[in-house]
Amino acid sequence: MAALHLPRIEDLDVDDLAALPKGYGYELHEGSLVITPPSTFWHKEMARRLLNMLSAAGLEAFPYTGILGDRPRDSRCPDIGVVISLPANPTTVSHLPGSAYRLVVEIVEKSARGEYTDKARWYAERGVPEYWIVDGTPEYRDDEAAVLIFRLNGRPEYVRERTVLLSELEAEYAAR
């Protein structure tokens, strides 16, 4: 899915994103507004399965959560975010610092859109301890995906721990 990168909008910050039209994904990349179109149903199905799996394990997993950057005009919204605990005021909070997350998940379709490099580096620099990339490569069935699991290595960079099929990961979580 292609993202639309717009030029810098000088006065737009994270708080302004809530007022934008619904139905699209919005991120601020160092002040530049990035808009992503609605996802495919494969993407939605992978997200649903992951949310069900993580929630059944007792984790606070949510779709399209907001992560604050180092500046008010910088944020990312992973497909799934697992928070350590809910914010004290959940009705007014849409973005949290990276330290509030235990895991973020990006689901990749057709073009990686930087999930393997740019987003990984950005999440690592914000201290998110675990990062998963769910990749729907052609060698898998339409109902399957590879899950690449990365963890911080003590520095702000990820090391791949392992790659597992989503169906296998679901079985592991169900056995816990």
Instruction: State the total domains in the chain.
Output: 1
Residue 9 falls inside a structural domain: no
**For residue 63, what are the domain limits?**
39-175
Find where tokens 């990984």 sit. Answer: 120
Cα–Cα separations (whole angstroms), residue 23 to 11, 18, 46, 98: 23, 12, 19, 24
Residue 5 falls inside a structural domain: no
pLDDT tens digit string along 85-139?
A: 989 988 988 899 999 999 999 999 765 666 788 899 999 999 999 999 999 877 7
Find where tokens 């950005």 sit. Answer: 122
CA separation for the pair 115, 108 (Å, rounded): 7
Residue 83 falls inside a structural domain: yes
Whole-structure pTM value: 0.83
pLDDT at 150 > cutoff 60 = yes
